[in-house]
Amino acid sequence: MLLAALVPALLAGCTAGPSTRPPVVENEGPPPQQQTGPAEDVPLPPLAEPNEPQVQWNDCDEETRLRLGDPAVPPELRFSCSRLSTTLDAPDLPRRGLTRVAVLKVGTGPIPLAVVNDVSGDPGTLHAARLAATLPPAVLERFSLIGMDRRGTGESDAVRCIPDDVRARLIGHDPAATDVEPLLDAARKAGQQCSLSLESEQGAIDSWRAAGDLEELRQQLGMEHLNALSRGEGSRVLTAYAGRYTDRVGRFVLDGIPDPAPEAPVVQEGIAAGLQSTLDALGADCAARGCALGADAAGAVTALTTRLREDRGGSLTPALALNAVATGLAQRERWPELTDAIVAARNGDTGGLEAFAEPLLRESRVAPSRLDGTLATTCNDTLSRLPADRIDQITADLRAKYPVFGPIAAQPLAWCGPWPVRREPLPEPGAAGTPPVLVTSTAADPVTPEPGTARAVAQMPSAVRVAWQGAGHGAIGSPCVADAVRGFLVDGTIPRDGTLCPA
């Protein structure tokens, strides 16, 4: 998503030290813990080339370009694909069963760098393909990117269990509605259908087991240590990996981390705040470009949802419009397209905005719906199951604080009510004995807001954070951050914790 051209100047434009700017995203959850520093001094592992790799790569260039549908990917990049068999490891069948995981290789560097993305975003294979088009040349000279579709997504035995009409009800519940029962009914139907369709697999689609898939990938790549880069919610897979396979951690870069707060309402409030801050940044960007939407993006979106609610009968509902805007906010390189789509929708042409939400709702000839795998992973990665009256209260509170996105941010709290509660404890983001980990954050991030990332870093003794003062999902699009990432991965240079990168 948010990946622009990057330049390899050493921490160009970066300054070290605490930020004096006012917080861009507010979150009323518990304050960050004081980081105590590493319990032991574990060095960054040296880079080493594979030893007797076992992965059988096959050319998939034409197929990948069809899936990407993106002419911006340079023709000189070539893609190879493979599929690994890994252990399903369902709760009822520990260490038994098989599932398939799709991987894609791009670049000619001798050292593999695994790439993991948000479960609701591009599958990891496509994310790696797009990422390769933007990374500094020095990274691709040293590494080849190995994108992995997380289990249950993309081409990794994708989950297909929610009926189309139920999907539409989960995403389309009117944010102005004060009765959450229709949403809960849709969640019950989704849970029932997924339970029937997935059977024992239902509880095996989570980040902890995806970390096991990464370990299988490391072994088949012939690597002593796993080097990896994640974005946003995908960082949960890498922190789980560090907890399970600490002595196999190589050079890890986490571009944003989910809020580790155990209270789901706290996490969702942070997301509502992040969405609002990013929408404000979209308005400022629009004003600077002189685009038709104007500086008051929040007012424009509110006017659009009001008109859609009054018109009724159209294919674009208020909730679908807000989900489309939220999806577009995460993709900064598409902001001009997003603002044009909002303006067009206000004038009656909703096709552009609907296209942003299309991957969530419907299968295409090259991809499954993203909602099914997102719901399965999200519900298996959380212990929270809230009663209807509590969800009603949280929705009302978030609507009052964040009128545009508050209700939409609260709705996922209802999705998991009928889903079985995981039996295992949730993985902690920090693991003793982990080598230095580079974490980047974005001041206004609609997916992994900066306060949540900071809370996660406070629990990771070996983490250092580079903070980008920009907006959108992910910081690697910043030249300053990109060069810190290059220095860390290629040269083993560990940035000073608290390094700031200007917007």
pLDDT digits (tens, 9 = 90+) for 288-307: 999 999 999 999 999 999 99
Residue 20 has pLDDT above 60, yes or no: no
Here the tokens at position 439 are: 């974490």
Sort strands 143-148 and 111-116 into parallel, antiparallel or unpaired: parallel
282 phi-psi bin (left φ>0, alpha ψ -120 to 50, beta other)? alpha
Here the tokens at position 193 are: 């259908």
Here the tokens at position 476 are: 């690697």
The pLDDT, as a whole number, for residue 73 is 84
- Residue at 256: amino acid letter: G
C-alpha–C-alpha distance, residues 91 and 354, integer Å: 38
Mean local confidence (pLDDT), 184-189: 97
Give burial (CB, 10 Å; 0-12/13-18/19+) of 388: middle
CA 330 vs. chain centroid, Å, equals 9
Residue 280 has pLDDT above 50, yes or no: yes
C-alpha–C-alpha distance, residues 145 and 114, integer Å: 6
Mean local confidence (pLDDT), 59-87: 91
The pLDDT, as a whole number, for residue 10 is 25
Here the tokens at position 256 are: 């944003």
The most confident of the ranges 24-28, 39-43, 279-283 is 279-283
With pLDDT > 70 as the criterion, what percentage of the chain qualifies?
92
- Residue at 330: amino acid letter: A
What's the whole-number average pLDDT of the chain? Answer: 90
Residue 37 has pLDDT above 70, yes or no: no
Nearest partner of 445 among 331, 359, 286, 341, judged by Cα:
331
Residue 98 has pLDDT above 50, yes or no: yes
C-alpha–C-alpha distance, residues 243 and 425, integer Å: 12
Burial of 289-308, coded b for 16+ CB within 10 Å and e otherwise, reads eebebebebbebbeebbebb
Residue 201 has pLDDT above 90, yes or no: yes
Mean local confidence (pLDDT), 190-210: 97
Nearest partner of 334 among 352, 359, 348, 308, judged by Cα:
352
The pLDDT, as a whole number, for residue 6 is 24
Q: Is 59 helix (H, G, I), strand (E, B) or coil?
A: strand
Q: Which domains does the chain have, with CATH numbers?
A: 58-157+205-261+424-501 (3.40.50.1820), 164-200+263-382+384-415 (no CATH)
pLDDT digits (tens, 9 = 90+) for 417-449: 999 999 888 888 888 999 999 999 999 999 999
The pLDDT, as a whole number, for residue 341 is 98
Mean local confidence (pLDDT), 83-102: 96
Kind plus residue range of the DSSP H or E element containing 267: helix 264-289
The pLDDT, as a whole number, for residue 40 is 54
Here the tokens at position 145 are: 């990117």
pLDDT digits (tens, 9 = 90+) for 305-331: 999 999 887 899 999 999 999 999 999
Task: Say which range, 28-37, 285-294, 357-366, has the weakest mean pLDDT.
Answer: 28-37
Is the pLDDT higher at 125 or at 363?
125
Residue 252 has pLDDT above 80, yes or no: yes
Residue 12 has pLDDT above 60, yes or no: no
In degrees, rounded to 5, the angle at the alpha carbon of residue 364 between the alpha carbons of residues 358 and 370 is 55
Residue 38 has pLDDT above 70, yes or no: no
The pLDDT, as a whole number, for residue 3 is 29
Sort strands 143-148 and 98-106 into parallel, antiparallel or unpaired: antiparallel
C-alpha–C-alpha distance, residues 80 and 108, integer Å: 11
Residue 460 has pLDDT above 80, yes or no: yes
Distances (CA, A) of 141 to 52, 109, 145: 21, 5, 11
Nearest partner of 194 among 447, 417, 426, judged by Cα:
417
Residue 28 has pLDDT above 70, yes or no: no
Mean local confidence (pLDDT), 155-182: 95
Residue 380 has pLDDT above 90, yes or no: yes
Nearest partner of 184 among 398, 377, 408, 386, judged by Cα:
386
Kind plus residue range of the DSSP H or E element containing 84: strand 79-87
Mean local confidence (pLDDT), 259-282: 95
pLDDT digits (tens, 9 = 90+) for 129-143: 999 998 988 999 999
The pLDDT, as a whole number, for residue 164 is 94
The pLDDT, as a whole number, for residue 405 is 98
Residue entry with tokens 């790696």: 128
With pLDDT > 90 as the criterion, what percentage of the chain qualifies?
83
β strands within 226-359, DSSP E: 226-231, 249-255
Cα four-point dihedral sign 127, 130, 132, 135: negative
Residue 382 has pLDDT above 60, yes or no: yes
C-alpha–C-alpha distance, residues 4 and 476, integer Å: 8
Residue 17 has pLDDT above 70, yes or no: no
Say which DSSP state 90 is in.
Answer: B
Nearest partner of 223 among 250, 253, 252, judged by Cα:
250
Q: pLDDT-based confidence at 24, cuts 50/70/90?
A: very low
